[in-house]
Amino acid sequence: MFCDILMPDGSPSFADPRYVLKRALAKTSDLGFTFTPTPRSSSSS
């Protein structure tokens, strides 16, 4: 997903994965942690 999903009133949708990540990053930052998301790499078996 490469865009933010907004509700009709312009507020972020709670179902938007990007918004969920932004909230999680804010919570970890408030707790003094640093979180660095990285792209997932797939490996072949």
Alpha carbon separation from 8 to 5, 11, 12, 23, 30 (Å, rounded): 10, 8, 9, 20, 29
pLDDT of residue 45: 55
pLDDT of residue 27: 93
Residue whose token pair is 């490469």: 2
Q: What is the CA radius of gyration of the chain?
A: 14
Residue whose token pair is 């949708």: 13
pTM above 0.85, yes or no: no
Taking the C-alpha atoms of residue 35 and residue 23, their distance in angstroms, rounded to an integer, is: 12
pLDDT per residue over 5-45, tens digit each?
999 999 999 889 889 989 988 999 999 998 787 887 776 65
pLDDT of residue 37: 74
